[in-house]
Structure 1
Amino acid sequence: MSATGVSLFVAVPAAVAGAVCIGLASAAQARATKEVETTKPLDLTLFRRLIGRPLWLIGIAATLLGLGLQLAALAFGPLLIVQPLLITSLIFAGLASARFEKRLPDRVMVGGSVLCVVGLAAFILIARPSGNGDVLLTGPALLPLGIALAAVTAAGMVLAAFTGSGSLRTLGLAVATGVLYGLTAGLMKVVAGQFRVGFDEPFRHWTLYLVCVIGPFGFLLSQNTFQQGRFLTPALAVITALDPLVGVAIGLSWMGESANGSPLALAGEAAAGLVIVVGIALLATRASHLSAAPEPTEAAEPGSDPDDGYGLAGSTC
């Protein structure tokens, strides 16, 4: 087996196992955040309210295990393979959520899951990702994508902070969370490469310290997103879609990875992406009808707007 084959033999199972853990963590944390008083975005007291919740602690343990597996996958595989595989976390989150609510997924949710897996497999086969760089470009080459990511994150935060709609607030938080998660994954790829040089190597570079800031910030936003949204899957679908998109953009723009760019391949990649989007939409819309989230401890604010599937009316990534 070639070196590339060995790397993928490690990276793919690690990425899928990481997706299982992240899906379980998302379902557990989303349910736990509904059991405490609703807070405003970026309110650190949310952690104080959650710390004694067993379900939330299970979610934290699953998150840490998932991040460890993702780091292992990124150490061996390119972002263009590892990050799209994280889309499957939405499937596992739906299954875990159904288990918590003591119901079985119906045929629509199963169909959505199948579409996600088929679309993902087709995308990877057609794109044929190559390159496995773990060093960021330097200088002006970082600016176009960096500015775009900062602008999208800021737009999501502004939407969350200044909108009066619970659904738009949740959407803004989910967008900011997805971008920060994807950026964290790209930086973790660099850190993983540095660890392979030597255990002390990451501590000599700014990348690790930036991960230590962006990662927890994105996690705080995710907990706010789960608490604000009435249903898990619609908000998680936004996060799950943006995370790999940002990771792929970083791989292509900042780390020298490449994919099949012929006209026929681009058409096939677009079609595969569309299949994935349809699968995510099916999972999100169906789960919003089936979900039976527990009532929040704080009543909705007077005059709040009805929920449309993204957020809980009156609620404050």
Structure 2
Amino acid sequence: MTDAVSLLVAVPAAVVGAAGFGMASAAQQRATHEVPVSSTLSPRLVVDLIRHPWWLLGLVMTVLALSMQLVALAFGPLTVVQPLLVTGVVFAGVFSALLHRRAPDRWVVVGGLFTAAGLAAFLLQARPVAAPEGEHLDVTDSPAFLVTIVVLVVGCLIYARVISNPTRILALALGTGILFGVTAALMKAVTTAVRGGLGELFTTPALYAACIIGPMGFLLSQNTFQQGRLVSPSVAVITTADPIVGVFAGIAWLGESLDTTGPLIAGQAIAGVVVLAGIASVTLRSTVLLRRGDAPEDAATWEHHDPAPESSASSSCPG
């Protein structure tokens, strides 16, 4: 199959996956606000949520989104698939508004579209190239990257535990995005192994690593949604960190590469600024809506189980 045909499968699958993740985030965020608050990474939260219809809908959409992501990763390089998932922030904002019977805020949507446009510009200039045939994931090829990932995740968890200001939600979101990005790299390795036959699947360490790291990321995402006031900023951080980590994991572990010639690097940097501007506009606009009482989420119902660390600064919480 040619690269062009592969992308014709990978890109739509990735966008559908992003829409699924967006819908799942909106549904799960609503559900987590209607159950008792649990401590970070506590399985008790899932026990409370498993009987909630909105959460179950989110779970179904997550499975659908993951299936589409697997299809996209099977046909396209990680450096193409993961950045497309950032469009999930647009879908999350729109679906969240619709779930709460409000019209989607135009500035949140515009910010998400700017993010997607920046990613498209980045991909056009980065010209991502898949790994050579037969390339397998090997974390020993880049131990520094693995150590950096571990330090960042642990740092996010510690920060969220000891800090009482609203930025703790962004730390939880960042940790979630990092775990999702690593999981995507592991999933890419699994899809590569499957091409060699099902016999190789169960001998691939990446499969078992994904079965551990993936659920950890999912549980941390539920903590993030529950402890944050708005879905869009949290999803913006998660869906930004996810592809960034995924891209670097693809380069460090899977042998994928980007075009790093001088002029293209400058263009990629400008595209990155556009992405950050889009994310910033989503976060700032969501904060304004929350202060005005026009946010999709009902702050009045949230006050009944708002965690203590955020109660004193809820009006300015960006997460």
Q: Which residue of 2 aligns with 1:314?
A: none
* Partner deviation per Cα, 1:191-246 (whole Å, 9 max, x = no partner): 01111221232211211000000000110000000000011111111111100000
Q: Which residue of 2 aligns with 1:271?
A: 270
Count of aligned pairs between the two proteins: 309
Task: Identify the match of residue 293 of structure 1 among 297, 311, 314.
Answer: 297
Contact map agreement 1:160 1:169 (CA 8 A) in 2: yes
Q: Which residue of 2 aligns with 1:70?
A: 69
Q: What is the CA-CA distance between 1:185 and the residue it aligns to?
A: 0.2
Q: What is the CA-CA distance between 1:265 and the residue it aligns to?
A: 0.3
* Structure 2 CA distance for partners of 1:125 and 1:303, relative to 1, 3 Å: closer
Q: What is the CA-CA distance between 1:299 and the residue it aligns to?
A: 5.3
* Partner deviation per Cα, 1:77-104 (whole Å, 9 max, x = no partner): 0011000000001110011011012122
Structure 1 alignment gaps of length 5 or more: 312-317
CA distance in 2, matches of 1:301, 1:129: 45
Q: TM-score, length-normalised on structure 2?
A: 0.92
CA distance in 1, matches of 2:310, 2:83: 40
CA distance in 2, matches of 1:279, 1:127: 19
Q: TM-score, length-normalised on structure 1?
A: 0.92
Q: Which residue of 2 aligns with 1:32?
A: 31
* Structure 2 CA distance for partners of 1:302 and 1:68, relative to 1, 3 Å: closer
- Range 139-148 or range 254-263, more displaced: 139-148
Q: What is the CA-CA distance between 1:309 and the residue it aligns to?
A: 2.5
Contact map agreement 2:23 2:58 (CA 8 A) in 1: yes
Q: Which residue of 1 aligns with 2:222?
A: 223
CA distance in 2, matches of 1:73, 1:35: 34
Q: Which residue of 2 aligns with 1:15?
A: 14
Structure 1 counterpart of 2:150, one-letter code: A
Q: What is the CA-CA distance between 1:113 and the residue it aligns to?
A: 2.6
Q: Give % identity.
A: 44
* Partner deviation per Cα, 1:45-69 (whole Å, 9 max, x = no partner): 1111111111110000000010011
Task: Identify the match of residue 313 of structure 2 among 282, 306, 315.
Answer: 306
Q: Which residue of 2 aligns with 1:156?
A: 156
CA distance in 1, matches of 2:80, 2:186: 16
Structure 2 alignment gaps of length 5 or more: none
* Partner deviation per Cα, 1:232-290 (whole Å, 9 max, x = no partner): 11111111110000000011121111111111100100101111111111122223314
Q: What is the CA-CA distance between 1:39 and the residue it aligns to?
A: 1.2
Q: Which residue of 2 aligns with 1:315?
A: none
* Structure 2 CA distance for partners of 1:106 and 1:301, relative to 1, 3 Å: closer
Q: SS of the residue aligned with 1:200?
A: helix
CA distance in 1, matches of 2:255, 2:217: 25
Runs of 4+ in structure 1 displaced over 3 angstroms? 132-140, 299-304
Q: Which residue of 2 aligns with 1:280?
A: 279
Cα RMSD for the two superposed structures:
1.8
Contact map agreement 2:164 2:309 (CA 8 A) in 1: no
Contact map agreement 1:159 1:168 (CA 8 A) in 2: no
